[in-house]
Amino acid sequence: MEEGNDDSHGWNLTESDPGVFTELLKTLGVPLIVDDLYSLDPESLAALQPLHALIFLFKWISTSGDGPSATSGGEYDRDFPGFFAHQVVNNACATLAVLNALGNIPSLTTGPQLAELNSFTTGMDPQTRGMVITSADWLREAHNSLTPPNAISLDGLGLPKSSEDAYHFVVYLPIMGSLYELDGLKQFPVRHGSYETSGEGWVKKARETIERRIATYP
């Protein structure tokens, strides 16, 4: 990424490391941890229960059209009543994925700054909410304090000047009895349908959805 020729607005590159995410959660006053998943088999997922969300990292490819892509499936929920923010600057998508997840976990303990931010953005449309979030100096500083020099570049999302591969974070989690995909680059949250409350619950639905998506990639 060339200095002065990007759309990062002061947000540094992000490393895909569970320790980085866990440190961010600590900064936000959230008593949760993030762990790597090397398999989506039921045994691996069961060992990590209770699971609140799955963060999916993938190579970002520009798509045309105004709806969920063929790779992700699902359908837009244009009347989504939960927390959803757009990604309005490059390099912020890891933190944004975390915030989109945290904003939809019921009765979650958070620090005062995050609680104030969530309260202040209540009722905002996703674009405005994303702008408010990424303009929060304290959040950008927390994000930047955890990013090492050699991190995953998200510079160039949608920008023809970049020839490097771009990677992107999205989150899958249960909301109001359905599995949702929250992607800050999509116009609306994507609803993947209801899930059975017995057995593995939402995790089974998430595994099937993510595996279908992975199968579409080369």
Question: Which are the catalytic amino acids?
Answer: 93, 168
- In angstroms, what CA-CA distances link 206 with 21, 65, 108, 216, 217? 20, 24, 21, 16, 17
Task: For residues 60 and 167, give the distance between their C-alpha atoms in angstroms, rounded to a whole number.
Answer: 5
Given the DSSP bridges, would you call strands 178-182 and 167-175 parallel, antiparallel or unpaired? antiparallel
Contact 206, 179 (CB under 8 A): yes
Any idea what the Cα angle at residue 125 is, between residues 120 and 128, rounded to 5°? 70
Which tokens go with 168? 């992107």
Instruction: Let me know the angle formed at the C-alpha of 145 by 90 and 127, rounded to the nearest 5 degrees.
Output: 30
CA 41 – CA 52 distance, rounded (Å): 17
